[in-house]
Amino acid sequence: MIRGMRAGLRHQGASLNLFSEADVEDLHMATLDVLERAGVLVDADDAVDIFADGGCRVDRETHIVKIPPEVIAKALSTARPQFLLAGRDPKNDVLIAQGRMTVCPFTEGVMVNDVDTGVNRMSTLKDLKDNLRAGDYLSSYDFNTVSVTARDCPEATAEVHHVEAAFANTTKAFMVSMMSTKMAEATFEIGAVVAGGEDKLRERPLFTYGYCPVGPMYLTEICTEVTIACARLGIPACCIAMDMAGATAPITLAGTLIVQNAELLSCLVLNQLVNPGSAFYYGTSTDCFDMRRGSATVGTAELALLQAGTSVMAKYYNLPSWTAGY
Amino acid sequence: MKRGIETGLHSGGAILSLFAEADLDDLHNATLEVLERGGVLVEDDEAIDLYADAGCWVDRETHMVRIPPDPVARALLSARRSFVLAGRDPAHDVMVEVGRVTVCPFAEGFMVNDLETGKYRSSVLQDVIDIARISDALEDIDINVCGVTARDVPEAVAELRQLEMMLHHTAKPWMMPMTSKVMAEFGIAMGAAVAGGHDKLRERPLFTYSACPVGLMHLTASATEVNIACARSGVPYACVSMGMAGASSPVTLAGTLVVQNAELLSSLVLHQKVEPGAPFYFGSSTCGFETRRAAAAVGTTECGLIQAGTALMGNYYNIPSWTGGYQTDSKACDCQTGHEKTLTGLLAMLAGASTICGPGMLETGVTFDVAQLVADAEIVAMTKHVRRGIPVNDRTTFVDEIISVGAGNEFLSSKSTLKGARSLSQTKLIDRQVREAWEAAGSPDYYEQAKKEARRILAEHEIEPLPADVAQEVRAIVEGAEVH
């Protein structure tokens, strides 16, 4: 039996339709409006300077930075749709790209359920090492994470212990939370030794630094330090909005996506102003605030929708996205 | 009138995109080819006569019925896009339609986990009653079912005893598997007694019968008898294909959908020949066959994708679809159960199945567990919530408020937050407390909480009894049938 050639565009795989094109446009336009008229609160003076030089209207008294649309358009035009996260073993290299999905374990817990005793207790460096080895072994995880804080290490320098443990216990690329310029520079040095030089590390970044703006539209010193450090050092920035619908953002999911978008786009602007073309993850771990119980909740329909909405927005911007899940 | 949650044919909401238009055309055309050149095997002579009258080519020796495209097209033209399943209480009426999702519990298990003893045992008539009453009380269950077989009554009369209990113990419409013309007709008489006559039952059918063609494109006498009885009486027919990819159909999901489609469309041709416009569910409980273990598996990605594919074919044909979902192969309420039920339920939900059947089941459909039914109702509520998506409009974006609140402040004290909080998902059993509160409450376990809730419902939930004379009339039909 001869069958004619199949015609038409084929669509492969299962995907989610969440927004119409007009919905996404609306969310984008609303964000532009918010960034231009309300602006973001930026603690650190060096970051305010960079925003000012980049064409934003800054108020040095109130630390409010208002970002006009053309500055955002420019940042979006220089941002990368994909970047490499390199494994210490190159067969574990991962291409982080808009439109392709990868999975990594959770980051960053402070307690563990002990695998032997079942007791819920504080996490230690040993736990981190165990988790890294398990994450390295499991083929479902495309790259690894610093999954728990080593609470038996000094808090001020925890990151260097985390990165040291990561290099010793996985040959996959990994994500590590970062709290300061100082720690970013120190861990970059460790990475450079492993990679065989700073240039080599830039070419094949062995890790990405995770960090968070604080809602609503508030970029703390930690947030801008790591955003700037990533751009200067050439390490992919994993910028993770952590809003809570009903607390740091409006109760509606659409309103929450707008607040989150304002935070992420303002961090992107800062990142791209420092070094156009820097690798930047459009990230979220935004959830809902449960008013009755006074706590954040993550295993919810709302969290799932917010993560899905974030990846749709990232697709619209042609940026790789980082979301929670599982 | 209860209407299912809207799906992608309306604006807004989250929907699954699985096929290109051309993919659906290909599946349809492949089915037409299979029906015309391969045909279906039809056991029953009356059904064969009807097919012949409808313009099909029948071979009375081999019982093969080959169906050319035009009878299929005629059947698709007369099939309904929506129909009512009526509650004994009209407040529970459900509109079953293309583009809206409803959920009913699993039908039909033959083992249960006993709610009181926890013991795994054969299902009995009292279980039918308990499942019906609990489902009647659960808000997220739109349609009720006869959830298990009553194995403590003689098999020959079990269906009618079950049916009688369903008429007594729920005010919601319900669904029940049916295996023969005789039983179907007795059941219809019982329904008519409750509805106030055959005409009334046709207008407001209180239940739907399900029957399964047996793959591979084999319509058993039982399936065609129930099909014809439904069409004649106006009781909606849930035609539920039960293929197994790799056993009764090809191992590929696309090939399986084609075989299933051939079974469903051939059933539809018969059904619409008997009574054009009679209500028909385009149904599937098709799953994968684990060749390694020689067993069916339903809590799988494959099963989820087949159910979603079935819903999309139903939408393509503009016929209400009926699929599995919220199903599992696990034997207990555990991590696997939560994963498989969410996976299969969410796929069917986002694909827009008109009715999804599965809550309460464990063990590939062998076991019904009423605590699991209560636990699953919460999963159903969450997946319905996902289905609603993220509405984007001037009432939800709050741009002016975001600007007036400003950077670095909070929304906790906003009026809109207080007002909108109720629109977020609420849970009864799912635990969202912080650890301290959870430990203070005795570290409650999901399944244990569900058991408590199931017991509470059984103790407290009341259903308007049937009028005494109607109950008597129903009883007389059952007794008459038992003599018969």
Distances in whole angstroms, Cα of residue B461 to Cα of each of A75, B161, B454, B456? 60, 22, 10, 8
If you average pLDDT over residues B325-347, what whole number do you get?
Answer: 97
Contact B327, B298 (CB under 8 A): yes
Cβ-based contacts of B344 with chain A (< 8 Å): none
Task: Say yes or no to pLDDT of B11 above 90.
Answer: no
Backbone angles phi, psi at B466, to 5 degrees: -65, 145
Q: Is the dihedral of CA B197, B203, B204, B209 positive or negative?
A: positive
End-to-end CA separation in angstroms for chain B: 38
DSSP summary character for residue B396: H
Distances in whole angstroms, Cα of residue A266 to Cα of each of A56, A96, A213, A258? 10, 21, 10, 12
A122 touches chain B (CB under 8 A): no
Cβ-based contacts of B254 with chain A (< 8 Å): none
A18 touches chain B (CB under 8 A): yes
Which of A18, A51, A66, A119 to substitute to test the interface with B, most B CBs within 10 Å? A18
What residue in A sits closest to B400 (Cα-Cα)? A34
Per-residue pLDDT tens for B153-166? 998 889 999 999 99
Could you please report the per-residue DSSP string of B98-157?
TTEEEEE----BSEEE-TTT--EEE--HHHHHHHHHHHHH-TT--SEE--B--TTS-HHH
Task: Say yes or no to pLDDT of B90 above 80.
Answer: yes
Nearest CB to B402; choose among A7, A19, A258? A258
CA-closest candidate to residue B207, choices B163, B242, B240, B169: B163
Q: Which two tokens stand for residue B424?
A: 């977020």
What pLDDT is attached to residue B114? 98
Distances in whole angstroms, Cα of residue B380 to Cα of each of A130, A241, B208? 36, 29, 21
Per-residue pLDDT tens for B427-438? 889 999 999 999
> Is the Cβ pair B435, A120 closer than 8 Å?
yes
Nearest CB to A17; choose among B8, B305, B393? B8
What SS3 state is found at A54?
coil
Q: Between these two residues, A1 and B448, which has the higher pLDDT value? A: B448
Query: Which of the four pLDDT bands, split at 50, 70 and 90, describes residue B214?
Result: confident
What residue in B sits closest to A22 (Cα-Cα)? B392
> Is the Cβ pair A295, B434 closer than 8 Å?
yes
Q: Class of A21-322 per CATH?
A: alpha beta
| Beta-sheet strands, E only, within B161-314 | 174-177, 207-211, 218-219, 237-241, 244-245, 280-284, 287-290, 295-297
CA-closest candidate to residue B223, choices B166, B258, B270, B289: B270
Burial status of residue B290 (CB atoms within 10 A of its CB: 0-12, 13-18, 19 or more) = middle
Nearest CB to A34; choose among B19, B402, B417? B402
Query: Which of the four pLDDT bands, split at 50, 70 and 90, describes residue A247?
Result: very high
> Is the Cβ pair A251, B421 closer than 8 Å?
yes
Mean pLDDT of the residues in chain A = 95
Residue partners of B183: CB distance under 8 A and separation at least 6: B159, B160, B481
Could you please report the per-residue DSSP string of B306-335?
HHHHHHHHHHHHT--EEEE-S----SSSSH
Q: Is the dihedral of CA B296, B298, B299, B303 positive or negative?
A: positive
Query: Which of the four pLDDT bands, split at 50, 70 and 90, describes residue B9?
Result: very low
Helix axes A221-233, A181-195, angle to 10 degrees: 30
Per-residue pLDDT tens for B97-149? 998 999 999 999 999 999 999 999 999 999 999 999 999 999 999 999 999 99
A98 touches chain B (CB under 8 A): no
**What is the residue extent of each domain of chain B?**
2-19+76-388
**A positions 31-60 inside 8 Å of B (CB):** 33-34, 37-41
Cβ-based contacts of A294 with chain B (< 8 Å): 434
What SS3 state is found at A179?
coil
What residue in A sits closest to B407 (Cα-Cα)? A217
Task: Say yes or no to pLDDT of A116 above 90.
Answer: yes
CA-closest candidate to residue B44, choices B224, B264, B210, B212: B224
Distances in whole angstroms, Cα of residue B35 to Cα of each of A127, B263, B319? 60, 9, 19
DSSP summary character for residue B38: I
Distance CA A16, CA B352 (A): 12
What SS3 state is found at A284?
strand
| Min Cα separation B351/chain A (Å) | 9
What residue in B sits closest to A4 (Cα-Cα)? B26
If you average pLDDT over residues A159-170, what whole number do you get?
Answer: 98
A300 touches chain B (CB under 8 A): yes
If you average pLDDT over residues A30-34, what whole number do you get?
Answer: 97
Distance CA A43, CA A221 (A): 6
Q: Which two tokens stand for residue A194?
A: 């492993």
What pLDDT is attached to residue A67? 98
Contact A55, A68 (CB under 8 A): yes
Cβ-based contacts of A17 with chain B (< 8 Å): 8, 14-17
What pLDDT is attached to residue B423? 86
What residue in B sits closest to A34 (Cα-Cα)? B403
Distance CA B81, CA B281 (A): 10
Q: Between these two residues, B442 and A290, which has the higher pLDDT value? A: B442
Place of tokens 């790591």: A226
Instruction: Give the ipTM.
Output: 0.90
What pLDDT is attached to residue A7? 53
Mean pLDDT of the residues in chain B = 94
Query: Which of the four pLDDT bands, split at 50, 70 and 90, describes residue A263?
Result: very high
Contact B181, B224 (CB under 8 A): no
If you average pLDDT over residues B293-298, what whole number do you get?
Answer: 86
Place of tokens 């009356």: B46
How much of chain B exceeds pLDDT 90, in percent? 86
> Is the Cβ pair A301, B386 closer than 8 Å?
yes
Beta pairing class for B367-368 and B111-113: parallel
If you average pLDDT over residues B334-346, what whole number do you get?
Answer: 97
How much of chain B exceeds pLDDT 70, in percent? 99
If you average pLDDT over residues B185-213, what whole number do you get?
Answer: 96
Nearest CB to B420; choose among A252, A258, A304? A252
Q: Which two tokens stand for residue A34?
A: 């918010």
Q: Which two tokens stand for residue B50?
A: 């009807």
Cβ-based contacts of A110 with chain B (< 8 Å): none
Which residues on adjacent β-strands are paired with residue B105? none
Nearest CB to A19; choose among B392, B401, B406? B392
Cβ-based contacts of A23 with chain B (< 8 Å): 390, 392
Which of B17, B349, B424 to substitute to test the interface with A, most A CBs within 10 Å? B424
Residue pairs between chains A and B whose CB atoms are closer than 8 Å: 176
What pLDDT is attached to residue B10? 45
If you average pLDDT over residues B403-426, what whole number do you get?
Answer: 91
Cβ-based contacts of B393 with chain A (< 8 Å): 26, 254
Nearest CB to B390; choose among A218, A254, A262? A254
> Is the Cβ pair A302, B425 closer than 8 Å?
yes
Distance CA A212, CA B214 (A): 56
Contact A132, A166 (CB under 8 A): yes
| Three-state secondary structure of B344-389 | HHHHHHHHCCCEEECCCEEHHHCEECHHHHHHHHHHHHHHHHHHHC
Architecture of the CATH domain B2-19+76-388: Alpha-Beta Barrel (3.20)
If you average pLDDT over residues B187-209, what whole number do you get?
Answer: 98
Contact A288, A294 (CB under 8 A): no
Distances in whole angstroms, Cα of residue B193 to Cα of each of B83, B228, B229? 21, 21, 17
pTM for the model: 0.93
DSSP summary character for residue A148: B
What pLDDT is attached to residue A4? 60
DSSP summary character for residue A249: B
Distance CA A25, CA A28 (A): 5
What SS3 state is found at B241?
strand
Task: Say yes or no to pLDDT of A10 above 80.
Answer: no
Nearest CB to B403; choose among A7, A16, A34? A34
Task: Say yes or no to pLDDT of B6 above 70.
Answer: no
Nearest CB to A216; choose among B407, B419, B433? B407
**What is the residue extent of each domain of chain A?**
21-322
What is the dihedral angle through the alpha carbons of A190, A193, A197, A203, rounded to the nearest 10 degrees? -60
Distance CA B409, CA B254 (A): 53
